[in-house]
């Protein structure tokens, strides 16, 4: 599956670098951040080659156990037991399972547990705002076939399934960022492994489809695209949420980078070139936007246009929940209207932004004031953490009720 020293044909970085608009953006970045955002050739090449890299350790386990003997049901039981009680508790554990958990349970050399804990706390502090922002920033990347095609073929984030899959993602974010959520035996750590195995199944099914363009897109759910997803939970919201009053320092952004790097490690996303600091992360995001091919077409458009309707109140909902759903739906319109590029919003069939787009703008001074108090009054940081943890759990429960997230791959693609 993997290729050495090859870059997908839709990786257009070098073709677009000289574009006047790209150079204008580069100058703007240099003015704002006071450093050149253009990355080194080595980083760009490693990023491009990562589109042919995936997760060979987890894939070996799926091949040996799920797709061979003893089969998927027994494989799931083995995985669950190993997650709950340790791999030593699995009778006659196959070599691939032992290798998978050896990697999973061995801390990488670069790991700083205190920095991971700090990054998780910063992510929690962003509350439910980061749920809206992280998804909205993904909408912008649905123009790319390597991202949009897997989601479109499976139907996971399109049409009626969109809400369920979006909320499974939110559950994952909550689980991994809870205090101690990545400790051995913790729910977040277990969720990461289940998502990792789910990705293997989706990747295998997509690679078997004749319409998957391996030369243009690389492998499905590649290390390249997965690393951008990790950036979408760290440096990107760390900067963007200043727009609604959150005050995140460069050091705190770097803590979220480290936190999400460790989450990525547990997910099998382990690039050696993962950004170590704020400047490197900005340079990677610069490369990600420059290299875009904009070929997803109607598949990408469907994903964008399915996002907001997923939050519309459902018929037959009790009036109290319907009221909350009506408010939340309009809040999501406001957040999307503020954070999605105006050209992207206008290009798609979307709800009217006004007046809901005023909500994030109006609340910004309130959030900024609360953030200022949190930073200056001892003890308020811990209070804010408890409040945000409660708020995001309540937000999630309002959306899904008592239903548990499954993290199961789709059995059949919709087309």
Write out the DSSP string of 319-373.
Answer: HHHHHHHHHHHHHHHHHHHHHS-HHHHHHS-----TTTTHHHHHHHHHHHHHHHH
pLDDT tens-digit map of 295-332: 999 999 999 999 999 889 888 888 888 899 999 999 99
- In 3D, which of 217, 265, 287, 260 has the Cα closest to residue 43? 287
Q: How many angstroms separate the Cα of 343 from the Cα of each of 135, 146, 339, 360, 366? A: 17, 21, 11, 19, 29
Q: pTM (2 decimals)? A: 0.93
pLDDT tens-digit map of 104-148: 999 999 999 999 999 999 999 999 999 999 888 889 999 999 999
Check if the beta carbon of residue 95 is closer than 8 Å to that of residue 68.
no
Check if the beta carbon of residue 157 is closer than 8 Å to that of residue 163.
no
Phi-psi label, residue 94: left if phi above 0, alpha if psi -120 to 50, beta otherwise = beta
Please tell me the distance from the alpha carbon of residue 294 to that of residue 296, in angstroms, as a whole number. 6
Mean pLDDT for each 10-residue chunk of the chain (415 residues)?
82 96 94 94 97 96 84 88 93 94 96 98 96 89 92 66 80 96 94 94 90 95 96 94 96 98 97 96 96 93 91 87 91 94 93 94 95 94 96 90 59 44
Provide long-range contacts, Cβ within 8 A and 24+ apart, for 280-283: 280/39, 280/43, 281/231, 281/234, 281/235, 281/253, 281/257, 282/29, 282/33, 282/35, 282/37, 282/235, 283/37, 283/38, 283/39, 283/40, 283/43
Q: How many CB atoms lie within 10 A of CB 214?
A: 15
Instruction: Return phi, psi of residue 321, to 5°.
Output: -70, -40
User: Given the structure tokens 């870059």, which residue do they identify?
Assistant: 7
Please tell me the distance from the alpha carbon of residue 195 to that of residue 193, in angstroms, as a whole number. 5
In the chain, what's the furthest Cα-to-Cα distance?
A: 62
Please tell me the distance from the alpha carbon of residue 329 to that of residue 170, in angstroms, as a whole number. 16
Chain center to CA of 347: 24
């Amino acid at each position: 599956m993997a290729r050495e020293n090859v870059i997908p044909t839709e990786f257009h970085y070098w073709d677009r670098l000289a574009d006047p608009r790209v150079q204008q953006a580069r100058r703007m970045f240099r003015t704002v951040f006071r450093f050149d955002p253009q990355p080194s050739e080595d980083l760009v090449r490693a990023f491009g080659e990562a589109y042919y890299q995936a997760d060979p350790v987890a894939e070996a386990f799926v091949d040996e156990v799920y797709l061979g003997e003893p089969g998927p049901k027994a494989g799931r039981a083995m995985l669950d037991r190993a997650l709950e009680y340790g791999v030593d508790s699995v009778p006659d554990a196959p070599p691939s399972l032992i290798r998978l958990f050896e990697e999973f349970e061995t801390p990488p050399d670069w790991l700083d547990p205190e920095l991971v804990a700090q990054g998780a706390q910063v992510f929690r502090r962003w509350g439910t705002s980061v749920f809206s922002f992280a998804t909205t920033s993904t909408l912008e990347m649905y123009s790319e076939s390597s991202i949009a095609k897997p989601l479109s073929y499976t139907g996971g984030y399109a049409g009626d399934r969109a809400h369920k899959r979006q909320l499974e993602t939110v559950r994952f974010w909550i689980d991994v960022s809870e205090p101690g959520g990545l400790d051995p035996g913790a729910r977040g750590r277990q969720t990461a492994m289940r998502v990792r195995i789910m990705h293997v199944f989706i990747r295998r099914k997509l690679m078997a489809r004749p319409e998957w363009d391996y030369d243009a897109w690389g492998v499905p759910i590649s290390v390249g695209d997965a690393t951008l997803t990790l950036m979408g939970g760290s440096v990107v919201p760390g900067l963007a949420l200043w727009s609604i009053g959150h005050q995140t320092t460069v050091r705190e952004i770097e803590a979220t980078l480290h936190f999400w790097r460790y989450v990525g490690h547990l997910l099998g996303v382990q690039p050696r070139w993962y950004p170590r600091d704020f400047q490197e992360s900005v340079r990677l995001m610069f490369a990600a936007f420059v290299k875009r091919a904009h070929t997803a077409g109607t598949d990408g458009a469907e994903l964008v246009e399915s996002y907001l309707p997923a939050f519309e109140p459902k018929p037959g909902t009790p009036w109290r929940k319907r009221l909350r759903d009506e408010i939340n739906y309009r809040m999501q319109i406001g957040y999307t209207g503020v954070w999605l590029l105006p050209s992207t919003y206008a290009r798609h069939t979307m709800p009217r932004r006004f007046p809901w787009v005023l909500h994030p703008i109006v609340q910004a001074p309130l959030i900024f004031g609360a953030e200022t108090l949190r930073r200056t009054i001892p003890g308020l940081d811990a209070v804010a953490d408890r409040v945000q943890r409660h708020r995001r759990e309540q937000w999630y429960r309002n959306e899904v009720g008592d239903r548990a997230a499954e993290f199961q791959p789709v059995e059949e693609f919709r087309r």
